[in-house]
């Protein structure tokens, strides 16, 4: 089933992965199920309106299911009203890998390139901090998404986003030679490293919700704490630890976007800009990949509910990494 290649009003039937599964209460007091389902074509919202605890409480995020329903629109976005849902059986002969969206490259190769880059650092403090964290978080980096459902919400999305931000930062550092390139690169690599503890992630690399630590502390503060712990355990300059912590704490730009502090260094300002750029470009590219040439995307609520036009020369999100 290609969830994204159907017209409004179409009858939908096929297999998909449940990414998120939430019971909610409607205004009239009735309970319904709010789902985010996916196949390799992407994600789609779905609703089960006729909630029955005996029927529906056995389902959860991370499960492969077969659904039947109707495609409709709500607030300008497609969603499926699910009439029937069941667990898969051995007779269905379906493979989990066919329903898991992954990054369009080898996560291991990207990880190896990060390690090689950091090994060439001249600043021994940044080299120790970054290499230590890369090695400690290797398993999560190779699998975790960068979000629950916004940008890079896929298996391996965290290292995909990290590499994209890093490549943008390297280009800017070459244009402006007065920027401390190793500090900027270190911030790019570590800015989202604590997302390894921020999400509940299943065995296929899909995030379903935030952990208590993700809600109460968040990846910006937790990332700065990582740096502080390594610096305290080693002979690392207090200033070097502090400026790297600042890049992590400020990379969301402003408090309204979750930043702990506003950028107060040129490297921090650049990191904030390229992080936002990659997140926005990816969301737009992903949405454009769901529509035909000459059409507009659905409203993107993360981008002021704007619609974007698909021009003839647009390819797909894979070009982001292929063109580097």
Per residue in 165-176, pLDDT tens? 999 999 999 999
Strand, helix or coil for residue 36: strand
- SS3 for 86-133 is EECCHHHCCCHHHHCCECCCCHHHHHHHHHHHHHCCCCHHHHHHHHHH
**Do residues 260 and 253 touch, judged by C-beta distance below 8 A?**
no
pLDDT > 70 in the chain, percent? 85
Question: What residue ranges in the chain does DSSP mark as E strands?
Answer: 11-25, 31-39, 42-48, 64-74, 77-87, 199-201, 207-210
Q: What are the chain's domains?
A: 11-99 (2.40.50.140), 107-284 (1.10.3210)
Tens of pLDDT, residue by residue over 222-262, are 999 999 999 999 999 999 999 999 999 999 988 877 788 99
Q: What is the pTM of this model?
A: 0.73
The CA distance from 170 to 172, in Å, is 5
CA angle 281, 284, 286 (to 5 degrees): 105
Residue 321 has pLDDT above 50, yes or no: no
Q: Which residue did the predictor score with more confidence, 200 or 268?
A: 268
Q: Are 43 and 78 in contact (CB under 8 A)?
A: no
What pLDDT score does 322 carry? 44
Query: How many angstroms separate the CA atoms of 41 and 47, rounded?
Result: 19
pLDDT in tens, 58-114: 888 778 888 888 888 777 678 899 988 988 888 888 776 666 665 566 788 889 999
State the average pLDDT over residues 133-137.
Answer: 94
């Amino acid at each position: 089933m290609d969830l994204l290649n159907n017209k409004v009003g179409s009858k939908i039937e096929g297999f998909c992965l449940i990414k998120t599964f939430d019971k909610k209460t409607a205004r009239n007091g009735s309970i319904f199920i709010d789902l985010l389902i996916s196949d390799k074509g992407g994600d789609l919202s779905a609703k089960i309106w006729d909630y029955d605890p005996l029927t529906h409480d056995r389902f959860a995020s991370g499960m492969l299911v077969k659904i039947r329903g109707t495609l409709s629109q709500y607030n300008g976005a497609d969603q499926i009203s699910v009439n029937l849902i069941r667990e898969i059986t051995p007779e269905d002969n379906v493979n989990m890998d066919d329903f898991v969206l992954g990054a369009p490259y080898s996560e291991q190769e990207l990880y190896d390139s990060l390690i090689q880059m950091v090994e060439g650092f001249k600043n021994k403090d940044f080299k120790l901090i970054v290499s230590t964290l890369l090695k400690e978080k290797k398993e999560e980096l190779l699998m975790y998404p960068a979000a629950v459902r916004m940008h890079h919400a896929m298996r391996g999305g965290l290292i995909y986003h990290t590499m994209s931000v890093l490549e943008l930062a390297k280009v800017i550092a070459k244009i402006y030679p007065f920027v401390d390139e190793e500090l900027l690169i270190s911030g790019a690599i570590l800015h989202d490293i604590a997302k390894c503890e921020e999400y509940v992630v299943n065995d296929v690399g899909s995030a379903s919700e935030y952990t208590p630590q993700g809600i109460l502390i968040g990846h910006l503060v937790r990332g700065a704490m990582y740096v502080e712990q390594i610096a305290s355990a080693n002979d690392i300059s207090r200033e070097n630890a502090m400026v790297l912590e600042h890049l992590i704490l400020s990379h969301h730009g402003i408090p309204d976007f979750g930043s702990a502090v506003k950028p107060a260094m040129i490297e921090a300002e650049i990191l904030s800009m390229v992080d936002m750029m990659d997140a926005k470009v990816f969301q737009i590219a992903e949405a454009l990949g769901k529509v035909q040439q000459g059409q507009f995307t659905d409203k993107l609520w993360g981008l002021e509910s704007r619609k974007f036009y698909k021009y003839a020369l647009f390819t797909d999100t894979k070009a982001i990494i292929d063109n580097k």
